[in-house]
């Protein structure tokens, strides 16, 4: 007899598992946008929506146990701030759950917490609660609330063929430590939504190609990006670091050609890297020799 | 030379660690009540406050790896619902972070998720987002938003000497499995805040004595409870199961003597178990023989 082993989630993949869950969820009219964007968007008041997001950092996955605890704490807050910025909003309140190995020193926890507090202070975020639990490995999960003016809300789904694709900064520095020290692009997001109609936006937390892929899927479009235009971080060794190696936490966004011209004219420091095209072209890279390659969206996947 | 080992968090204890953090937090005027109650309470609109809470469940701590995943999923949602109920509110939206071992089967995840969905449906809660991560052990962290009419908000801090102490149901069933199958007391909470001025409330997630201790600390009062009056769950073997063994998730609340009389007259099914007294008496138990014992608040502590 053949024994049928239960299918593991690795077979389905991270995004397969997420989709499997999403399909079953129904939400009511208070939910403007549920699962599937950088933040959930909830009805709030006449002029604002509320943004709601969560991010879990796990020892051995998002950081090593030898990492500076101050930077772990800092990052745990920064990743959620980045999600709020990616929707055009301002972070306001957060709660923090921490699973802590019993042998952890007080000194370690003090540093972890200081990393959280310092960043929260800079961004005027209220730490309003939490839950501490014992655990075998350190786990930090931050849930954050923000607000966004209704007219400023940006989702992944609004990119249009002809849009110019931009990023807010250089890519590929993640593996050299940027993923622990990045500056969430709240100011840049505020500048963008104040001055332009941003059609689509996401923060790059899984690599340019994968996160651009999310915009393309949500917007039902394709894209071509140009190797020559991609701003590489100094420590980046090659283009692959930018395309697939994860956590740069720059914002990736698209503007109409008219708005894009304004970016250049007014000398905003945003970097154009390509153009949104019809869906049938998929995702393509024009390399330095002028050859078009079809890019498979790739990046960090948990399973 | 004597080597000084770093002091571990076990030395400080769960509540010591929490206090150490809380002392450093500053919040702005949008925060009605920050860390230190069942939920954070945030400014919302003219008539309502928003409630915000998070609860982390960890494999090996809150459930064993052999547990029915449906019940793990159910519990992960239920504990946060219970926190919202403890503040007199109604749960509305939640986000879910899950750390998942790579070898986990799809079947397991389907059941876990169904446990979440089924309970969310009953309580009309919108699942609006989440974060999936790989992890060595299963970790589920749910963050929930609710609303509460301003006049109905109940904190831990309003108990007054002379108040009668009630619970919504029998205690001590936690270790026999109730902790995985409990019904969050949302209906009871709604009945209470509609009909009475509830002075203080908490959900019993760490045992009666420890959670009553939280009310006494926050309200700066003492209490005497009566062994004869404590409603024991059928499976409870003795009083200790109720006093210290954790997760009954009944509501524990205090009412003025006048309101307490109304509870009896109108035959509400709430159980009086004692009385709030001056702080100098601490926490006492009158046993079946009429002897007063000083109770040390005890219950589940993570460190």
What domains are there in chain A, each with its CATH number?
9-151 (3.30.1330.10), 154-294 (3.90.650.10)
Band of residue B235 on the pLDDT scale cut at 50, 70, 90: low
pLDDT at B6: 67
Q: Shortest CB distance from B126 goes to which of A28, A58, A96?
A: A28
pLDDT at A299: 76
Residues 6+ apart with CB under 8 A from A170: A231, A232, A233, A234, A236, A248, A250, A271
Q: Give the span between the Cα atoms of A66 and A93, in whole angstroms.
A: 29
Q: Shortest CB distance from A35 goes to which of B25, B36, B130?
A: B130
Q: Give the span between the Cα atoms of A244 and A303, in whole angstroms.
A: 16
Burial label, A75 (beta-carbon count in 10 A; 0-12, 13-18, 19+)? buried
CB contact burial A10-33 (16+ within 10 A = b; e otherwise): bebebbebbeebeeebebeeebbb
Tokens of A68: 């500076």
Residues 6+ apart with CB under 8 A from A39: A33, A51, A52, A53, A83, A84, A86, A87, A89, A146, B129
**Closest Cα in chain A, distance from residue B203 (Å):** 15
pLDDT digits (tens, 9 = 90+) for B40-64: 999 999 999 999 999 999 999 889 8
Residue B129 and residue A54: Cβ atoms within 8 Å? Answer: yes
pLDDT for B230 beyond 80: yes
Judging contacts by C-beta atoms under 8 Å, the chain A residues touching residue B96 are 54
pLDDT for B177 beyond 80: no
**Closest Cα in chain A, distance from residue B208 (Å):** 19
Q: Shortest CB distance from B56 goes to which of A9, A53, A97?
A: A97
Q: Report the interhelical angle of A14-22 vs B106-122 (nearest 10°).
A: 30
pLDDT at B120: 98
Mean pLDDT of chain B: 93
Could you tell me which residues are beta bridge partners of residue A63?
Answer: A59
Listing DSSP states for A103-129 in one string gives T-BHHHHHHHHHHHHHHHHHTT-EEEE
pLDDT for B117 beyond 70: yes
pLDDT for B134 beyond 60: yes
Judging contacts by C-beta atoms under 8 Å, the chain B residues touching residue A110 are 20
Judging contacts by C-beta atoms under 8 Å, the chain B residues touching residue A8 are 102-106
pLDDT, one tens digit for every residue, chain A (303 residues): 555 556 888 888 888 999 999 999 999 999 999 999 999 999 999 999 999 999 999 999 889 888 999 999 999 999 999 999 999 999 999 999 999 999 999 999 999 999 999 999 999 999 999 999 999 999 999 999 999 999 999 999 999 999 999 999 999 887 777 788 899 999 999 999 999 999 999 999 989 999 999 999 999 999 999 999 999 987 556 788 888 877 889 999 999 999 999 999 999 999 999 999 999 999 999 999 999 999 987 777 777
Judging contacts by C-beta atoms under 8 Å, the chain A residues touching residue B93 are 30-31, 40, 42, 52
The residue in chain B having the minimum alpha-carbon distance to the alpha carbon of residue A111 is B21
Q: Shortest CB distance from B133 goes to which of A53, A61, A99?
A: A61
Residue A141 and residue B56: Cβ atoms within 8 Å? Answer: yes
Residue A130 and residue B21: Cβ atoms within 8 Å? Answer: yes
Residue B133 and residue A109: Cβ atoms within 8 Å? Answer: no
Judging contacts by C-beta atoms under 8 Å, the chain A residues touching residue B104 are 8-9
Which tops the pLDDT comparison, B144 or B240? B144
pLDDT at A47: 98
Q: Shortest CB distance from B104 goes to which of A9, A53, A106?
A: A9
Q: Shortest CB distance from B54 goes to which of A27, A113, A131?
A: A131
Q: Between chain A and chain B, how many beta carbons pairs sit less than 8 Å apart? A: 249
pLDDT at B145: 98
Of the CA atoms within 13 Å of residue B186, those in its CB half-sphere come to: 22
Question: Among A104-108, A231-235, B193-197, B282-286, which is the least confidently predicted range?
Answer: A231-235
Judging contacts by C-beta atoms under 8 Å, the chain B residues touching residue A61 are 133-135
pLDDT for B24 beyond 80: yes
Q: Give the span between the Cα atoms of B235 and A241, in whole angstroms.
A: 59
Angle at A235 between CA A233 and CA A241, to 5 degrees: 70
Question: Among B128-142, B175-189, B193-207, which is the least confidently predicted range?
Answer: B175-189
Of the CA atoms within 13 Å of residue A281, those in its CB half-sphere come to: 17
**Closest Cα in chain A, distance from residue B260 (Å):** 32
Residue A106 and residue B139: Cβ atoms within 8 Å? Answer: no
Judging contacts by C-beta atoms under 8 Å, the chain B residues touching residue A93 are 30-31, 40, 42, 52
Residue A102 and residue B9: Cβ atoms within 8 Å? Answer: yes
Identify from A7, A32, A45, A97 which residue to disrupt to test chain B contact, counting B C-beta atoms within 10 A and taking the largest count.
A97
Q: Give the span between the Cα atoms of B214 and B175, in whole angstroms.
A: 22
pLDDT at B302: 79
Q: Give the span between the Cα atoms of B15 and B301, in whole angstroms.
A: 8
Checking DSSP bridges between strand B198-203 and strand B251-255, what pairing results, if any?
antiparallel
**Closest Cα in chain A, distance from residue B53 (Å):** 7
Distances, alpha carbon A144 to alpha carbons A51, A180, A193, A220, B78, in Å: 8, 19, 20, 29, 20
pLDDT at B261: 97
Identify from B20, B36, B110, B133 which residue to disrupt to test chain A contact, counting A C-beta atoms within 10 A and taking the largest count.
B133
Identify from A17, A58, A141 which residue to disrupt to test chain B contact, counting B C-beta atoms within 10 A and taking the largest count.
A141
Judging contacts by C-beta atoms under 8 Å, the chain B residues touching residue A21 are 113, 130
Tokens of B19: 């206090």
- Collapse the DSSP code of A185 into the 3-class scheme (helix H, G, I; strand E, B; otherwise coil) and give the result: coil
pLDDT for B109 beyond 90: yes
Q: Shortest CB distance from B141 goes to which of A7, A93, A97?
A: A97
Residues 6+ apart with CB under 8 A from A237: A172
Residue A54 and residue B143: Cβ atoms within 8 Å? Answer: yes
pLDDT at B132: 95
Q: Shortest CB distance from B127 goes to which of A25, A92, A117?
A: A25
The residue in chain A having the minimum alpha-carbon distance to the alpha carbon of residue B125 is A27
């Amino acid at each position: 007899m053949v024994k049928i082993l239960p299918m593991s989630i690795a077979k389905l993949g991270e995004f397969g598992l997420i989709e499997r869950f999403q399909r079953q969820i129904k939400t009511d009219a208070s939910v403007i946008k549920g699962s599937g964007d950088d933040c959930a968007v909830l009805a709030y008041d006449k002029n604002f929506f509320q943004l709601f997001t969560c991010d879990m950092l796990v020892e051995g996955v998002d950081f090593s146990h030898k990492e500076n605890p101050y930077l772990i704490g800092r990052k745990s807050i920064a990743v959620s701030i980045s999600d709020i910025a990616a929707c055009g909003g301002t972070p306001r309140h957060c709660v923090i759950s921490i699973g802590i190995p019993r042998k952890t020193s007080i000194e370690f926890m003090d540093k972890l917490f200081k990393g959280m507090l310092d960043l929260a202070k800079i961004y005027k975020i209220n730490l309003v609660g939490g839950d501490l639990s014992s655990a075998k490995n350190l786990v930090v999960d931050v849930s954050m609330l923000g607000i966004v003016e209704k007219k400023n809300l940006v989702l992944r789904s609004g990119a249009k063929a002809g849009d110019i694709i931009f990023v807010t900064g250089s890519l590929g520095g993640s593996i050299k430590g940027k993923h622990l020290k990045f500056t969430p692009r709240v100011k840049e997001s505020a500048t963008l939504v104040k001055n332009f109609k941003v059609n689509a936006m996401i923060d790059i937390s899984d690599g340019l190609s994968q996160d651009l892929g999310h915009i393309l899927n949500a917007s039902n479009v394709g894209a071509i990006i140009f190797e020559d235009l991609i701003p590489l971080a100094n420590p980046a060794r090659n283009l692959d670091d930018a395309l697939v190696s994860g956590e740069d936490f720059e914002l990736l966004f698209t503007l109409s050609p008219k708005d894009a011209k304004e970016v250049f004219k007014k000398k905003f420091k945003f970097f154009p890297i390509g153009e949104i095209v019809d869906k049938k072209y998929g995702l393509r890279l024009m390399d330095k020799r002028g050859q078009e390659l079809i890019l498979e969206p790739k990046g960090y996947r948990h399973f």
